[in-house]
Amino acid sequence: MTTALASGDRTGGCNAPSILRERGQREVFCGLTSIVWLHRKIQDAFFLVVGSRTCAHLIQSAAGVMIFAEPRFATAIIDERDLAGLADVDAELDRVVDQLLERRPDIRLLFLVGSCPSEVIKLDLSRSAARLSAKLLPDVRVLNYSGSGIETTFTEGEDACLAAMVPDLPAEDATAERSLLVVGALADVVEDQFSRLFAELGVGPVRFLPPRQAHRFPPAGPNTFFLLAQPFLTATARALEERGAKRIAAPFPLGVEGTTAWVKAAGDVWGVDPDRFSSVIERPCQRAEQALARYRAQLAGKRVFFFPDSQLEVPLARFLAREMGVELVEVGTPYLNQQLLACELDLLPEGTAFSEGQDVDRQLGRCYAAAPDLVVCGLGLANPLEADGMSTKWAIELIFTPIQGYEQAGDLAELFAKPLRRRDRLVA
Ligand code: SF4
């Protein structure tokens, strides 16, 4: 996708880092890709993409290895007749939804997901969702959001999906006690670990967005304190604040330092005693430190270049630089939300080179000139870079793999160490 804005403006501020802002051709998957992990997270939801055969192929191939008998996503294909405005798309959508619900009576939450084609023909999916919800409630709730490549990168797809859920979250009871809402899709095993940690600290009740089931939509209101588990949830955070919920500012739970600071930020709101906090985190911290020690020798001193892809780049860079001794060559990210990332930016080494947006050719030029030991990038760039002798890590793997929390810290380091070991074996 190409936009015509000027490329290469560099900006910085008092506590703001110096950022190279680029607006050129970019190589990032669209928001439909997030369906691959979201459909596994919300177990009774179904994602109906209103799109083209290209959209259908994208999700099928992205999720291909995970498809078993009945996937919980599909594509309602907009064909040439629809594009020419000859068919009544609303009636067609109703027919597809009726068929789907007849075949899959277990569906409780249906997302109509917009795409480039549905945007191009200006299909108003919010109107369709409201109409279908009115018809199907209370059995099925219908929501909509856009996963179009015109509007979203793959992690922004999750943000759009969660933001679409926020207005439908129930209100808190008038007498509601203070509650913690952890926001961002996490693997169930990670969620369970955090639930146990918060329970031991006396922080709670703790709820999660997205929920595992549609009937467990968490309430939101002025007594809700929310902690983002993912850094790319700009629209969701805004929507929750509009409901009166309060964001707890924190780094993200990657690595020992990030996890401790993230858990502690919630603990501070609940006034957890420092001794109790230290004793609760002591053992998991030790286990994580031991796991990381194995990788430090492999990663220390290595030079890493991030292309903009998942929006996880800044917390990942902070983890690699501070806990693994990595040297950051460039930290590229599709969009740098300085408010949500303020605690992360404070921790990064002074003088870290950031870039926001992308002009892929210029960035490739900088990457080749720097000759880093490891490049973190999208699938489209990885193969050519590998062919030119570089070690790469697919950024999307960092979204599919459970990497948050103490127990996953070693797995997170392994994701970066593995391509370096492979390269060492190849050149040996
Ligand atoms: S939404 Fe757009 S970018 Fe994504 S697969 Fe469909 S056509 Fe391609």
* pLDDT class of 119 with cuts at 50, 70, 90: confident
Q: How many whole angstroms from 115 Cα to the centroid of ligand 1?
A: 6
* pLDDT class of 88 with cuts at 50, 70, 90: confident
Ligand 1: residue whose CA is nearest its atom 5: 55
pTM for the structure as a whole = 0.93
**21 — phi, psi (to 5°)?**
-100, 125
| Confidence (pLDDT) at 87 | 61
pLDDT at 179 over 90: yes
Across the range 112-139, mean pLDDT stands at 91
What are the pLDDT digits (tens) for 403-414?
999 999 999 999
| Confidence (pLDDT) at 261 | 98
> Which atom of ligand 1 sits closest to the CA of residue 31?
4
Q: Which two tokens stand for residue 402?
A: 């459970």
Give the range among 1-15, 30-44, 220-234, 321-335 with minimum mean pLDDT. Answer: 1-15
Taking Cα atoms as reference points, which of 338, 159, 179 lies closest to residue 249? 338
Greater confidence (72 vs 329) lies with: 329
> Which atom of ligand 1 sits closest to the CA of residue 116?
2
* pLDDT class of 83 with cuts at 50, 70, 90: low
| Omega before residue 308 within 30° of 0, cis | no
Q: How many whole angstroms from 151 Cα to the centroid of ligand 1?
A: 10
Across the range 126-147, mean pLDDT stands at 94
What are the pLDDT digits (tens) for 188-228?
999 999 999 999 999 999 999 999 999 899 999 999 999 99
| Omega before residue 253 within 30° of 0, cis | no
How confident is the prediction for the chain on average, in pLDDT?
90
Give me the domains of the chain, ranges plus CATH numbers. 31-152 (3.40.50.1980), 179-276 (3.40.50.1980), 292-427 (3.40.50.1980)
Q: Which of 116, 120, 146 to mutate to test the pocket of ligand 1 (most atoms within 8 A of CB)?
A: 116
| Confidence (pLDDT) at 209 | 98
Q: Is 52 in the pocket of ligand 1 (CB under 6 A)?
A: yes
| Confidence (pLDDT) at 267 | 98
Ligand 1: residue whose CA is nearest its atom 7: 116
Distance CA 390, CA 372 (A): 8
Ligand 1: residue whose CA is nearest its atom 6: 55
| Confidence (pLDDT) at 28 | 79
What are the pLDDT digits (tens) for 355-373?
998 888 999 999 999 999 9
Across the range 98-117, mean pLDDT stands at 94
What are the pLDDT digits (tens) for 266-295?
999 999 999 999 999 999 999 999 999 999
| Confidence (pLDDT) at 85 | 60
* pLDDT class of 18 with cuts at 50, 70, 90: confident
- The DSSP code sequence of 168-201 is GSPBPPTTPPPEEEEES---HHHHHHHHHHHHHH
Q: How many whole angstroms from 76 Cα to the centroid of ligand 1?
A: 13
Where do the DSSP E strands lie in 276-399?
A: 303-306, 327-333, 354-358, 374-377, 392-394
| Confidence (pLDDT) at 78 | 78
Greater confidence (413 vs 400) lies with: 413
Q: Is 210 in the pocket of ligand 1 (CB under 6 A)?
A: no
> Which atom of ligand 1 sits closest to the CA of residue 1?
3
Contact assessment for residue 378 and residue 396, using Cβ atoms and an 8 Å cutoff: yes
Ligand 1: residue whose CA is nearest its atom 3: 149
Q: Is 78 in the pocket of ligand 1 (CB under 6 A)?
A: no
**Phi-psi map region of 65: left, alpha, beta (phi>0 left; psi -120 to 50 alpha):** alpha
Taking Cα atoms as reference points, which of 288, 295, 286 lies closest to residue 254? 288
Q: How many whole angstroms from 20 Cα to the centroid of ligand 1?
A: 28
Taking Cα atoms as reference points, which of 229, 239, 373, 365 lies closest to residue 299? 373
**336 — phi, psi (to 5°)?**
-105, 100
Distance CA 253, CA 406 (A): 8
Q: Which two tokens stand for residue 377?
A: 């990038």
Q: Is 404 in the pocket of ligand 1 (CB under 6 A)?
A: no
Across the range 301-325, mean pLDDT stands at 97
| Omega before residue 210 within 30° of 0, cis | yes
Highest average pLDDT, of 13-17, 90-94, 321-325, comes from: 321-325
- How many Cβ atoms sit within 10 Å of the Cβ of residue 286? 12
Q: How many whole angstroms from 96 Cα to the centroid of ligand 1?
A: 20
Q: Which of 53, 79, 115, 153 to mutate to test the pocket of ligand 1 (most atoms within 8 A of CB)?
A: 115
Q: Is 60 in the pocket of ligand 1 (CB under 6 A)?
A: no
